[in-house]
Amino acid sequence: MRTIKQTKEIAVVGSYDVVVCGGGPAGVFAALAAAEVGAKVALVEQYGFLGGMATAGLVMPLSVFTYNNEQVIGGLPWRFIKRLEAMGGAHIETPLGNVAFDPELYKLCMQQMVLEAGIELYMHSYLSGVEMNGTRVEAVIIENKNGSEALEAKIFVDCTGDADLAYMAGVEMQPQNGEPLQPLSTYFILGGVDTASPLVNEAMHHNKQGVNCHCLPMREYLLENAAKLNIPEFGGPWFCTTLHEGCVAVNMTRTAGNACDNRDFTAAECRLREDVFRMAQILRENFKEFEKCYVAAVAPHAGIRETRRIKGAHTMTAEEYVSGYRYEDSISRGAHPIDIHATKGNNQNVTFLEQAAYVPYRALFTPSHPNILVAGRALSADRKAFASMRVQASCMGTGQAAGVAAALCAKENSSTDSVNINRLIEILRNLGAAI
Ligand SMILES: Cc1cc2nc3c(=O)[nH]c(=O)nc-3n(C[C@H](O)[C@H](O)[C@H](O)COP(=O)(O)OP(=O)(O)OC[C@H]3O[C@@H](n4cnc5c(N)ncnc54)[C@H](O)[C@@H]3O)c2cc1C
Does residue 127's CB lie within 6 angstroms of at least one atom of ligand 1? yes
For residue 232, the 8-state DSSP code is P
Does residue 137's CB lie within 6 angstroms of at least one atom of ligand 1? no
372, containing H or E segment: strand 372-374
Does residue 23's CB lie within 6 angstroms of at least one atom of ligand 1? yes
Q: Name the residue of 59, 122, 208 to mutate for ligand 1: max ligand atoms within 8 A of Cβ.
A: 59
On whether the CB atoms of residues 272 and 185 are closer than 8 A, the answer is yes
Residue 24 Cα to ligand 1 middle (Å)? 6
pLDDT by 10-residue block (mean), the chain, 435 residues: 94 98 98 98 98 98 93 97 98 92 98 98 98 98 98 98 98 84 97 97 87 91 95 95 98 96 97 98 98 98 97 97 96 94 88 94 98 98 96 98 98 96 98 96
On whether the CB atoms of residues 80 and 73 are closer than 8 A, the answer is no
Does residue 160's CB lie within 6 angstroms of at least one atom of ligand 1? yes
CA-to-CA separations, 233 to 59, 224, 257, 301, 347, in angstroms, rounded: 19, 13, 13, 19, 10
Other CB atoms within 10 A of residue 113 CB: 21
What pLDDT is attached to residue 212?
A: 84
Question: What gap in Å lies between CA 11 and CA 86, rounded to an integer?
Answer: 42
Does residue 26's CB lie within 6 angstroms of at least one atom of ligand 1? yes
Residue 277 Cα to ligand 1 middle (Å)? 23
State the closest ligand 1 atom to the C-alpha of 50, by its place in the atom list counted from 1: 49
pTM over 0.75: yes
State the closest ligand 1 atom to the C-alpha of 392, by its place in the atom list counted from 1: 11
3-state secondary structure 159-204: CCCCCHHHHHHCCCEECCCCCCCCCEECCEEEECCCCCCHHHHHHC
Phi, psi (rounded to 5 degrees) for 342: -65, 140
Question: What gap in Å lies between CA 286 and CA 278, rounded to an integer?
Answer: 12
Task: Name the segment(s) of the chain with CATH classification 3.50.50.60.
Answer: 12-179+306-431
Q: Kindly report, residue by residue over 201-250, the tens digit of the pLDDT.
A: 999 998 877 788 899 999 999 999 999 999 999 999 999 999 999 999 99
Instruction: Output the CA angle 31-37-43, nearest 5 degrees.
Output: 15
Spatial CA neighbour of 253 closest among 206, 183, 198: 183
Peptide bond before 175: cis, by omega within 30 degrees of 0? yes
3-state helix vs strand vs coil in the chain, percent to 5: 35, 25, 40
What pLDDT is attached to residue 69?
A: 85
Does residue 61's CB lie within 6 angstroms of at least one atom of ligand 1? yes
Q: Kindly report, residue by residue over 367-380, the tens digit of the pLDDT.
A: 999 999 999 999 99
State the closest ligand 1 atom to the C-alpha of 23, by its place in the atom list counted from 1: 49
Residue 158 Cα to ligand 1 middle (Å)? 13
- Determine the CATH number of domain 12-179+306-431: 3.50.50.60
Does residue 58's CB lie within 6 angstroms of at least one atom of ligand 1? no
State the closest ligand 1 atom to the C-alpha of 303, by its place in the atom list counted from 1: 53
Task: Note the Cα 180 to chain centre separation in Å.
Answer: 19
What pLDDT is attached to residue 270?
A: 98
State the closest ligand 1 atom to the C-alpha of 390, by its place in the atom list counted from 1: 19
Spatial CA neighbour of 239 closest among 231, 229, 248: 248
80: CB partners within 8 A, 6+ apart: 28, 29, 109, 110, 113, 396
Spatial CA neighbour of 419 closest among 362, 363, 334, 368: 362
Q: Name the residue of 28, 53, 253 to mutate for ligand 1: max ligand atoms within 8 A of Cβ.
A: 53
Strands of 169-323 (E only): list them.
Answer: 173-174, 188-191, 234-241, 248-253, 294-298, 309-310
Does residue 46's CB lie within 6 angstroms of at least one atom of ligand 1? yes
What pLDDT is attached to residue 325?
A: 96
